Amino acid sequence: MFTGIITDIGTVAAREAHGDTRFRIRTAYDMDSVAIGASIACSGVCLTVVQKGEDWFAVDVSAETLSRTTLGNWTDGSPVNLERSLKVGDELGGHIVSGHVDGVAEVVNVTTEGDSLRVRFRAPKALAGFIAEKGSVAIDGVSLTVNDVQDVTFGVNLIPHTQQVTTLGRLTAGAQVNMEIDALARYVARLQQWGKTA
């Protein structure tokens, strides 16, 4: 489990094709405190540390994950939002994020509002019904509050801090991002579906 609060921006240092695809990600984390087998959310995707060095860790990514997320677009130098898994007793600063990406959204436009950026996304049609005004959504692993919803598009505001400590401040129209809907929305929808069939 994660909270959607990014604690480092890593960089893809290498991409290797084996049976799966292995990425080596450079990080500022103290790797002595990261165990082999630990979970790290990488731009919203929960991945397992399979190797590590002084300032890097490696993860294996399946073809399924590459096809359902933006990780297939990663190349050397790609920036990556990083968050270590939640420990019991940690502050829950964002919202509960599983690291299981539901789909890929597209940036429609980015506009300036004071010091903030207003970013509008187009959600996959199958996920649009799970997005609610003032609800939560994770974009590339970042916990955000939805400001408005119009059909399959929705807007969020990025304050200067979020622009600086995540990759979202670099977004431009047409960019693709990993999107995870709020778990609460998922269960409400399931209960409504169950109520119709029970």
- Asked if 80 and 108 sit in the same domain, the reply is no
| DSSP secondary structure code for residue 64 in this structure | H
* Total of domains in the chain: 2
Q: Which of 144, 181, 146 is nearest to 166 (CA)?
A: 144
Q: How confident is the model at residue 96, as a pLDDT?
A: 83
- Asked if 54 and 111 sit in the same domain, the reply is no
Instruction: Inform me whether the pLDDT recorded for 104 exceeds 90.
Output: yes
Cβ atoms of 37 and 48 closer than 8 Å: yes
* Structure confidence at residue 191 as a pLDDT band (50, 70, 90): low
* Structure confidence at residue 127 as a pLDDT band (50, 70, 90): very high
Average pLDDT, the chain: 93
In a domain, 98, yes or no: no
- Asked if 73 and 123 sit in the same domain, the reply is no
- Asked if 109 and 175 sit in the same domain, the reply is yes
What CATH code is carried by the domain that includes residue 186? Answer: 2.40.30.20
In a domain, 97, yes or no: no
Dihedral, 46, 97, 167, 154 alpha carbons, nearest 10: 130
Domain boundary residue, one of 56, 84, 112:
84
Domain boundary residue, one of 32, 50, 84:
84
Tokens 């609800």 label which residue? 135
Instruction: Inform me whether the pLDDT recorded for 121 exceeds 80.
Output: yes
* Residue 158, number of CB atoms within 10 A of its CB: 22
For 99-113, what is the mean pLDDT?
A: 96
